[in-house]
Amino acid sequence: MADLAIDVRGLTKRFGSKIAVNKADIAVPSGQVWGFLGPNGSGKTTTIRMLCGLLHADEGEGTCLGYDFRTQSERIKREVGYMTQRFSFWEDLSIRENLDFVASVYELADARKAVAGQIERLGLAKRQNQLAGDLSGGWKQRLALAACMLHSPKLLLLDEPTAGVDPKARRDFWDEIHHLSRSGLTVLVSTHYMDEAERCDRIVYINLGNIIARGTVAEVIARSGLHTFIVEGESARLLSEDLHGKPGVEFVAFFGAALHVSGHDRAALERALRPLRDRPGLTIREAPPSLEDVFIQLQEKGTGDYA
123-159 pLDDT, tens digit per residue, is 999 999 999 999 988 899 899 999 999 999 999 999 9
Q: Are both 33 and 149 inside the same structural domain?
A: yes
**Cβ-based neighbour number of residue 117 at 10 Å:** 15
Q: Are both 74 and 188 inside the same structural domain?
A: yes
The answer to whether residue 176 is domain-embedded is yes
Q: Are both 192 and 86 inside the same structural domain?
A: yes
- Give the start-end residues of each E strand in the chain: 4-15, 18-29, 33-37, 59-64, 67-68, 80-83, 155-159, 186-190, 202-207, 210-215, 227-232, 251-255, 258-263, 283-287
Categorize the per-residue pLDDT at 1 as very low, low, confident or very high, splitting at 50, 70 and 90: very low
The answer to whether residue 280 is domain-embedded is yes
Domain region containing 194: 4-220
Q: What pTM was estimated for this model as a whole?
A: 0.87
On the 0-12 / 13-18 / 19+ scale of CB atoms within 10 A, 153 is: buried
| Edge-to-edge order in the sheet of strand 258-263 | 251-255, 258-263, 227-232, 283-287
Q: Are both 124 and 199 inside the same structural domain?
A: yes
Q: Are both 166 and 275 inside the same structural domain?
A: no
Q: Are both 208 and 243 inside the same structural domain?
A: no
Q: Are both 258 and 109 inside the same structural domain?
A: no
- For the chain, what is the largest distance between any 2 Cα atoms, rounded to a whole number of angstroms? 73
For the chain, percent of residues with pLDDT exceeding 70: 97
Give 207-228 pLDDT, tens digit per residue: 999 999 999 999 999 999 999 9
Q: Are both 148 and 34 inside the same structural domain?
A: yes
Q: Is the pLDDT of residue 305 over 50?
A: no
CATH of the domain at 238: 3.30.70.2070
Per the structure, how many domains does the chain have?
2
- Domain boundary among the residues 203, 220, 237 is at 220
Mean per-residue pLDDT for 26-30? Answer: 96
Q: Is the pLDDT of residue 247 over 70?
A: yes
On the 0-12 / 13-18 / 19+ scale of CB atoms within 10 A, 66 is: middle
Task: Provide the pLDDT for residue 301.
Answer: 66
Q: Are both 49 and 146 inside the same structural domain?
A: yes
Q: Are both 93 and 235 inside the same structural domain?
A: no
Q: Are both 62 and 202 inside the same structural domain?
A: yes
